[in-house]
Chains A and B, each alone.
Chain A
Amino acid sequence: MVCCLQSVIVLFVALRKARKQQQLISKRLLREDTQNGEGKAGMEIPTDPLSEQEVLQLLRDTQKGTEERKKSLSCLRQALQHKETQQKFVRLEGSMRVLIGLFTSSLADVQMEAAHCLHELSHSSDPAVAEACLPATSYLLTYLSGHSIEFTELCLYTLGNLVVESEAVRKQLLPQGIISALASCIQSPHEAVLEGLGYVLSQLLQAKEASIEIIPLVLDSALPQHMLQLVCSNLELGMGVAVEFAWCLHYVVCSCVNNALLISQGIMSTLVLLLLELASMVSKAVADGLELLICPVLRCLSNLLAEEMEGCNMQVQDERLLVALFTFMQYFLNHHLFIVQECLWLLNNLTADEPFFCSAMLTLDLIPALLQLLPCSRMVALLVLTVLCNIAEKGCAYCQQLHQKAVLSSLISILTLSDAEVAGQCLELLHLLFLHWPEAAADFFTQAGLQALEQHQHHPELQERVRALMNLATQPTAASPCSLVSSAAVPSSLP
């Protein structure tokens, strides 16, 4: 796709709008390079869509003798790349019946061409065209238990495109046994088949009715165990399979239907180990597109932690996880900011309750790296400040170390530049620091922190908190009970 910058921006605005309205429909297209076709002489991609007469003629030609039929089907397949031709085709009486008849032929190459035609139709952006493929679904499912890799793959992607199209399609596929068919098919050893299967499953799992109609069925089947295996598979050779199943797991986890089941199957440790491995791949700069796999895995862990289930915390307590997160954030900072955001979300969930990770942040000296992220974006700044609040809230030993890491100067800059929400989070952090480690307050005011505060003193959302902090400037530095106790117990150098 050749785009100028303007059209890229327009595209993103449109996509963001679609996502906000939950109307982001993604379809996959498998289309062979015409050069690779076998003996398809004279097959040029038509520049114009066909007329209704031409479509009708092609349809008739597919009913003739074997050689003619194959050529006509190839032509039809090419022609069906155009939306208008697709629409004309499905409107012709009997056309789908003929196509499905060819699709179920025992002549392999006829069947394959017909399958490609169906696939083009399934990919249509016109819902009426995709829905015209409905009568083929029982056959698509039947063929999933076949052994031809390419054909099975094609059937899977066609199904996936249909699944995402409408609830009507899914309402038919579920009673037709799609879940059982997928549960059988997932035992295939072939990567291409597994990737296609992951795609179909991911489309099913993100349906709006999924948490009620689909996810319970999936969790009841053998699928979850396979998913957990496949999400770590084949990372060096080609991550396509792992990517699909990672997104599948994300859709299941964020629906919160039965995360206890997944936890009992070891999802936490599987995903933590996976992240560690991905971090080592990132640092060796092996493999492109890692963010596509990292993203859903981060989300799963974050949402699972948010469930606050028994024993979950213990399963993630591995310092290397922190190192992995910072490796990702540094690596993707310039090109995929969303990874930074989602890493920080996980970091929040790791540091909110358990002091383990708060301590580790300090002992591994990760605070400077965290502070460096503050200027990236508003959302990132909010998340960074929240994580710092999590650490500060743990008490004076933590605040003392934060103070030592020169948190204050970053806070003063950010306070000066920011909007109300970010400023508000700053104020919360300052409060916690001053509460547990009053020396920080004194230091703050000597660094001209007062002027930074004054900026916001009239803002309705902020003024109360600003005034509370400003009052500290006039009070003498009282030694809080905490600092008297802690100065003996806390090692001021890193172990």
Chain B
Amino acid sequence: LLPVPARAPPQAPFRFSPRRLRCPREHELLEDGDIHRHLYLQDILVSVTQVTEKPKVSEFSCHIAGCCQVFDTLEGYEHHYNTLHRNVCSFCKRSFPSGHLLDIHILEWHDSLFQIMAEKQSMYQCLVQGCVEKFKSSKDRKDHLVTVHLYPSDFRFDRPKKAKSSTKHSKSPLLQNASMPVDIKTFEQPQVDSMEISPVENMENASQPLSSLISLPPEKHLNRSRIPSTICFGQGAARGFKSMRKKI
């Protein structure tokens, strides 16, 4: 390192002094780079990501018993599986977009302990990830979702249970189970349009025999179809299924 004398102020009329330069967002020096970034996003430049062809396989059907959907791409199958079979409540067969919402559903709809505790303390958790608020009732929670989180008041994944099944009861778990299948048929289906219920769901509901529910031991209340989040299909882990980005 070469020796450096102490720094002296500039001699007039000269004024240079070394200075680190800071460039905020709008600085002139950053203009050209920003434009380049803009063009990249608008796909006018060549994308730096590789675009992969969607693999086509010969037709195959969904392996879930009773589901007769057929596919010719892994992608299509993956989305079908995730939408309909992945986060499914084993009691009422409703499917949910995430494990989180499924867990809340099972707790609030199918867990008698929850009902008991809810009478004494705030048990209804806010649906928004990262919000720790809890409420005494489903309605209070909905009000919170609407006013604080600006959710729509008809948010599809927050349907309140019908009053019939949530009334207090001192019945034994056995009898409570017995009342379930009847209630399922009268429950408001998650979809608004009745034509959106897949035929599969309807069939399964109708054919659920009463006896099999009664014989369920209490521990199985929390059973549900669950796949660890790390498992995925096809080439997902390595590359993902990319859409072909159309260059304009």
Contacts and interface: CB of A to CB of B under 8 A. Distances in A.
Tell me, yes or no, whether A binds B: yes
Contact of A247 (B17, B37, B43, B151): B37
A199 B41 CA distance: 9
Q: Which secondary structure dominates chain B's binding surface?
A: loop
A476 interface: no
A145 B129 contact: yes
Nearest to B40: A292
A1 B44 contact: yes
Interface stretch (B26-34, B106-114, B177-185): B26-34
Contacts of A27: 41-42
A394 B34 contact: no
Contacts of B31: 16, 19-20
A150 B75 contact: yes
Interface stretch (A85-93, A173-181, A270-278, A366-374): A173-181
Interface in A423-450: 425, 427-429, 431-432, 435
Contacts of B191: 101, 104-106
B240 interface: yes
A212 to B, nearest CB: 14
A221 B13 CA distance: 51
Contacts of B1: 355-356, 359
Interface string A384-406: 00000110011111100100000
A355 B18 CA distance: 11
A480 to B, nearest CB: 11
A240 B244 contact: no
A307 B179 CA distance: 67
A36 B244 contact: yes
A106 B190 contact: yes
A355 B240 contact: no
B79 A148 contact: yes
B80 interface: yes
B130 A179 contact: yes
Interface stretch (B92-100, B116-124, B164-172): B92-100
B150 A254 contact: no
Contacts, number: 304
B196 A180 contact: no
Given A27-B41, A32-B243, A148 B83 contact: yes
Contact of B36 (A33, A292, A464): A292
B84 A106 contact: yes
Given A142-B98, A148-B79, A353-B20, A24 B34 contact: yes
A352 B35 contact: no
Nearest to B128: A177
Contacts of B33: 295-296, 299, 338-339, 342
A428 B54 contact: no
A303 B23 contact: yes
A124 interface: no
A146 interface: yes
Residue of A190, A341, A394, A490 contacting most chain B CB atoms (<10 Å):
A190
Contacts of A247: 37
Given A101-B192, A177-B128, A289-B45, A142 B83 contact: no
Interface stretch (A225-233, A323-331, A343-351, A452-460): A343-351
Nearest to B26: A22
Contact of B79 (A151, A172, A175, A398): A151
A482 interface: yes
A26 B42 contact: yes
Interface stretch (A51-59, A107-115, A409-417): A107-115
Contacts of B245: 29-31
A465 interface: yes
Nearest to B86: A147
B107 to A, nearest CB: 17
A490 B2 contact: yes
A105 B196 CA distance: 6
Contacts of B206: none
Give chain A's interface secondary structure class. Answer: helix
A154 B84 CA distance: 19
Contacts of B130: 177, 179-181, 183
A275 B34 CA distance: 19
B65 interface: no
Contact of A251 (B25, B95, B155, B195): B25
A305 interface: yes
Nearest to A34: B246
Contacts of A288: 46, 48
Contact of B32 (A109, A180, A337, A358): A337
A243 interface: yes
A255 interface: yes
B54 to A, nearest CB: 6
A481 to B, nearest CB: 10
Contact of B101 (A110, A142, A153): A142
A345 B21 contact: yes
A212 B241 CA distance: 36
Contacts of B229: 147
Contacts of B44: 1
B38 interface: yes
Given A26-B41, A29-B246, A238-B50, A176 B3 contact: no
A428 B14 contact: yes
Contacts of A287: 48
7 contacts: A108-B79, A135-B152, A147-B82, A175-B148, A338-B33, A349-B21, A398-B2
Given A306-B21, A352-B20, 9 more contacts: A19-B35, A31-B245, A33-B246, A106-B197, A107-B84, A240-B49, A243-B48, A289-B48, A296-B33
Interface of A: 1, 12, 15-16, 19-20, 22, 24, 26-33, 36, 38, 63, 65-66, 101-102, 104-112, 135, 138-139, 142-143, 145-151, 153-154, 172, 175-177, 179-181, 183-184, 189-193, 195, 199, 206, 237-240, 243, 247, 251, 254-256, 287-289, 291-293, 295-296, 299, 302-303, 305-308, 336-339, 341-342, 345, 348-349, 351-353, 355-356, 358-359, 362, 379, 389-390, 393-398, 401, 425, 427-429, 431-432, 435, 464-465, 468, 482, 486, 489-490
Interface of B: 1-5, 7, 11, 13-26, 29-50, 53-54, 72-73, 75-76, 78-80, 82-84, 86, 95, 97-101, 128-131, 148-152, 155-157, 190-193, 195-198, 201, 229-230, 232, 236-237, 239-248
